[in-house]
Amino acid sequence: MFESLLLAVALSADACAIALGIAAVNRDAAARLRVSIVFGAFQFLFAIGGWQAGATVLPVLSPWDRYLAAAALAFIAGKMLWESFEHHPTDAMRRTDPTRGWPLIVLAIADSIDALAAGVALEKLAGRPLITCVIIGVVTFVLSWLTMRIAGYLAERTGVWAERAGALVLTAIALKVAFL
């Protein structure tokens, strides 16, 4: 059980970093809940997918997975940064809300690719892979929600600079995913 919890915390780290960037743009409670639910659900589903797919599907995706995830994160980060320099950032935030629709789905997929890879090893790492997948989803939900709550509080005090910092965080994650 302890190993499952450690794995869940490790897998949720990128979700928390992305949530930190999102909280710079959208700080309301509904957005926090949407992001946390979607990130937790995708981590859970991708871990299950990896567990079920085993080693048959991942070798096909592995040469490209990091670049696809990096491109998605970089795109969202660039959009956030661009909009932070507009005259009315609140209008830009209303036009492109990374907590709704396809932007949220793309971020969740980019974040959950590592859960897919971890899922392959669940049979060997955890005695009960399904329970580990549930733990991964729940921990990701809780930590994403907490990160957005704290970051939203801080972002209210820093204004547009929080949005720019959030975009830079997403850019750093994209570069890490692509090159490390």
pLDDT, tens digit, 9 for 90 and up, residues 30-68: 999 999 999 999 999 999 998 888 656 656 666 776 776
* Total of domains in the chain: 1
Helix (H) or strand (E) run with residue 123 in it: helix 122-125
Q: Is a pLDDT exceeding 50 seen at residue 92?
A: no
Which domain range does residue 85 map to?
2-179
Q: Enter the pTM of the model.
A: 0.70
Reduced to 3 states, what is the DSSP secondary structure of residue 88?
Answer: coil
Amino acid 55: pLDDT:
54
pLDDT band at residue 93 under the 50/70/90 scheme: very low
* CA-wise closest residue to 144 among 50, 21, 3, 5: 21
Mean residue pLDDT across the chain: 79
The amino acid that residue 53 corresponds to is: A
Amino acid 78: pLDDT:
75
Distance of CA 67 to the CA centre of its chain: 15
pLDDT band at residue 89 under the 50/70/90 scheme: very low
Q: What are the residues whose beta carbons fall under 8 Å from the beta carbon of 52, sequence distance 6 or more?
A: 119
Side-chain half-sphere CA neighbours of 95 within 13 A: 11
CA distance 105 to 74: 15
The pLDDT of 141-146, averaged and rounded, is 95
